[in-house]
Structure 1
Amino acid sequence: MFTGTAPEAVLADVRGHDFGADPGPKLGANRIDAIVALDRAISAAQAERMAQIAALHAERADLTGVGRPDPTISVIGEISMARKVGLAAAGTQVGTALGLEHLPEIQALFLAGRLTEPVIRAVVNESVTLCADDLIVLEGEIAAQLIGLTRHEAARLTARAVIRIDAEAAADRAERNRADQRVSLFPDSDGVAHLHARGPAEQIVAAHTALDQHARALRAAGDPAHSARS
């Protein structure tokens, strides 16, 4: 029903359609079509938002001079205030928007609503180490394959392609990723908290093993409150 509807026309068409007058059994087929079409419209709107962010950054960069703020910092702050989101979230959006500008074929699919924002973020994040020429090669390899993929599938597809295209860049990315280490503490209800750690896999495994062994020892000593879980 709405498969061929352009993303910018989907909302009006769905709102104007009389679903109660659809012929045949009322199995909701047209409503399912509407839901899928609305997903396309959402993706297209998100793509246009990223295009506007990139354009805003370009305008701010043109104004850069002595005494003027860094355009990226300026845009991140403006997006954060305008959208009422944190600086980290705004920074992620700006970074993704700028990265997407180097992937015009993938950007076109996003603008058409055929790719989702999580997929776009995954592709940009996984390909950040590639030069402009290598990004052209990457697009030729993966653009058509991205349609219908989840974020994790897109990340794996892109990562494999990056390794084929530039193994050295992939190694540099892995090194930077391993250097991004942090420990976070999150409160929960009724005297409980969560501890989240990010770091090199072998260090995380070693920490888990030590905690696991300690919990098993306490349980073996008769403490039922401690159990080993992976």
Structure 2
Amino acid sequence: MHIHNISSSNTILNKFISEIRDVNVQKDSLRFRRNIERIGEVLSYELSKELKYSVNKVETPLGTKEIDQLTNKIVLCSILRAGLPLHQGLLNYFDDAENAFISAYRNHPENGVPSEIIVEYFASPSIENKTLLLADPMLATGQSLVAVYEAIKKYGVPKELHIIVVIASKEGVDYISKHFPENTHLWIAALDETLNEKGYIIPGLGDAGDLAFGKKL
């Protein structure tokens, strides 16, 4: 797996990461969503450097200019519901992309039986031989991303696969590295050290879905 940790160098990205982590700024859900969106835009720009381009001629009012333009056929897939603000940030840059959405949640059975990831909904165009961008803001244990990928594989094999996350744990990165193809690209805005006993990233930011859209039942 090709891992791109964008936080390894100082950029304006630090401001957006700082605000989504800050418990005081988090109280403004509109700002939280907008910052996730802006992080998606930064990651889109960095990701675009790894895509394919060909020369196209553009007519201006005063002449003709040759410009390299994107040739990848992109499908942008986000995991509901937390992935929606990140999806919008990616879509702001890859505005010609086709769109897909998939649901994933952890089942919590009784009697101490280990929980599992349930994938119930997938709406997507064909992903066969296309460039799939799989977006989820938090990469904690990595189990949700692997379950989602296994579900998506039933509908086709993408030519390229890019995973886009806002905050990842080292444990989650190690886990998905063992379950995704070697040529997968992982784009991370921030990397944290550990998980707590509930599987939340520490220091992380909390529940991204709740912060963006309110608490769920």
**Under TM normalisation by the shorter chain, which class is it?**
under 0.3
Q: Taking structure 2 as the reference length, what is the TM-score of the superposition?
A: 0.25
Give the greater-gyration-radius structure (CA): 1
Tell me which of the two structures has the higher relative contact order, counting C-alpha pairs closer than 8 angstroms and 6 or more residues apart.
2
Q: Taking structure 1 as the reference length, what is the TM-score of the superposition?
A: 0.24
Structure showing the higher helix proportion among its residues: 1
